Every structure is written in C-alpha cells, then in structure tokens.
Copies of this chain bind each other. A is one copy, B any other.
Amino acid sequence: MTIETQEETPRIKEPLRRVGITNLRSVAKINWKGRIYTFLPLFEITIDLPAEKKGIHMSRLVESVTEAMSEAVEEEVKEAHTSLEELGRAIIRRLEGKHPHRRAEVWIRTHLIIPRETPASGKVSYEPYDVEVGVIKENKSLEKVLRVKVIGNTVCPHAMANNEGKTHIQRAVAELEVRTAFEENVALEDMIEVVESSFSSPTYTLLKTVDENAVVRRMFENPKFVEDVAREIFSKARERFKGKIHVRVISNESIHKHDVIAETWS
C-alpha cells in the first residue's frame, strides 16, 4: 500500500503560491483559423499548496498536459485547441478534476513562424518569433498573459544628426506583454505586428538585393533611439489592447560591447 507523504502535515505550516513542474518539453497541436499548427513548447504548470499539506501530487500535473494533448490528437483537426491560451485553459480544466487547488497557472513558451512578403521583390519570407502564453485561474476568475519577442533594429538619430547622415545601426530585440481577462480578444499575431512596425525597419529572413536596398533606405529614413521604439510600441499597444501593458526594448549597440535598454509599463 502506498504511503501518501504529500498528504501529511508539514513541519512548517506555510501556504505556497506556486508549486509544480517546469521546463517540460512536449508537443502541442493548435487549430488556428482552420489550419493545424504543431509546436514543441516548454510548459510550466503550478498550483498553490495550502499550509496543512506537505506536498502536491506532481504526476497529476503531467497527466493534465498529456490528456489535454491526446484530446487534441484524438478528435483531430476540427476539434483541436484553437489557440495556445485555449490549450492552457484545457490543461487547467483537466487539472480541476484531478487535484484540489485554489489557484492554477499554465505557461506555454514556443516559437511562431509567420510568412511575410519581402518589401521589394514580393517573395515569401518565413519569420520566427518567440511567444509565451500564461493562463492563471484564481478562484473563479481567469486571466491570461501574452508575450511576444521580436527582432528588429535601431538607427541612431543622434549620430545621424552629427555626422551628415552617417550613423550607427544595430539589431534590437523588443518584448511586449499584455495581461488581461481571458475573454479579451488579443491575437499574438497582432502583438507581433505592433512591435515589428515600431523599429526603424522590420527584418526579414530572405532579402534579395532589391529588398535589402529597400530595408536600408527605410532604416535611414526612420532613425530611432531605443527610447523611440519603446514609446511607439507602448502607445500602439495601449490603443489596441485592453489590459496591463509592459514593454522592454534592448538594442545590441554596434559601437559598444554592452546593450542599451528602454522599459516601461502601465
């Protein structure tokens, strides 16, 4: 007979807010607007632990992921989860029948690959983005956190003004987070669009010479400090999305060995 150590009374009676599994790599299938996408995300799933229980039953958290996955596999295309946050909610629902808790969180981190059109030759370029989705259930209320990380560039307006149009340019990385009610309609693709359009220029995986020329010219017409990029993302995001907004831009300076940063939040 199994001893349920987790159910014992702990020596230190202190409730814990987040207990669970993290860095769990698995497969996820999402039916996004009628087309199936496959991801290999990293999952983190936690629940709270009351003061009087020694531990949680970790394997039930893993089962919630596995069952939510095979649900998607079994009922195939038309029944698959329609977004990463729907998948997060499906895992929390599975968890509800398995393990008592007051608060549950599911975090899913993956890459999105989105086709774009190159600026001059009109070719298709597949662009990668890092995204993370969190679903947080506390009592009855359901909240979600959406994060995107986009690679772009900054072109220094100060150097440009002081060197007859010559300046320094560099890769920059911007992160946008929206924290909002689960029902709010916020698409990761729209968040990516908000960020990508706020750099000196978007970047592309494929650029033929005519496209490269178009990007270079756009950069020089559109010099921006890291501060300008952060402000533009923040202002567009606040206009477009309901909820709490957080923006963080890091520019990998080409004239320094360190980075510069601009960050703000609502």
- Chain A: residues with CB nearer than 8 A to chain B? 2-6, 10-12, 14-27, 37-40, 44, 46, 49, 54-56, 58-59, 62-63, 66, 69, 110-111, 113, 124-128, 151, 153, 157-159, 161-163, 165-171, 201, 203-210, 212-213, 215-217, 219-220, 225-228, 230-232, 234-235, 250, 252-265
Q: Which of B17, B39, B111 contacts A265 (CB 8 A)?
A: B17
CA distance A14 to B2 in the complex (A): 42
On chain B, the residues within 8 Å of A6 by CB distance are 158, 225
Q: Is the CB of B254 within 8 A of A208?
A: no
Report yes or no: A12 in contact with B259, Cβ–Cβ below 8 A. no
Inter-chain pairs besides A12-B228, A14-B264, 14 sampled, C-beta below 8 Å: A3-B161, A12-B235, A16-B263, A17-B264, A37-B38, A55-B228, A158-B212, A159-B212, A162-B213, A168-B169, A168-B215, A203-B254, A215-B255, A219-B255
Question: Which of the residues B39, B66, B209 comes within 8 Å of A40, measured between beta carbons?
Answer: B39
Assembly stoichiometry (copies): 4
CB pair B206–A66 under 8 Å, yes or no, is yes
Residues of B with C-beta under 8 A to A157: 5, 54
In the assembled complex, the CB of A261 is this many whole angstroms from the nearest CB of chain B, namely 5
User: Are the CB atoms of A203 and B256 closer together than 8 Å?
Assistant: yes
**Could you tell me if B264 and A232 are in contact, using CB atoms closer than 8 angstroms?**
no
A10 to B201 Cα, complex, angstroms: 18
Chain B residues with CB under 8 A of A25: 111, 113, 128, 257-258
Minimum CB–CB distance for A250 against chain B, Å: 7
28 contacts between A and B (CB under 8 A): A2-B209, A2-B210, A5-B158, A5-B161, A6-B158, A16-B262, A17-B264, A19-B227, A19-B263, A21-B260, A22-B258, A25-B111, A27-B126, A37-B38, A38-B38, A40-B110, A55-B227, A59-B206, A62-B206, A162-B213, A166-B216, A168-B212, A168-B219, A170-B252, A171-B253, A204-B256, A204-B257, A212-B255
B residues near A226, Cβ cutoff 8 Å: 19
- B215 and A263 contacting across the interface, CB-CB below 8 Å: no
Query: Which one of B4, B124, B159, B205 lies within 8 Å of A213 (CB-CB)?
Result: B159
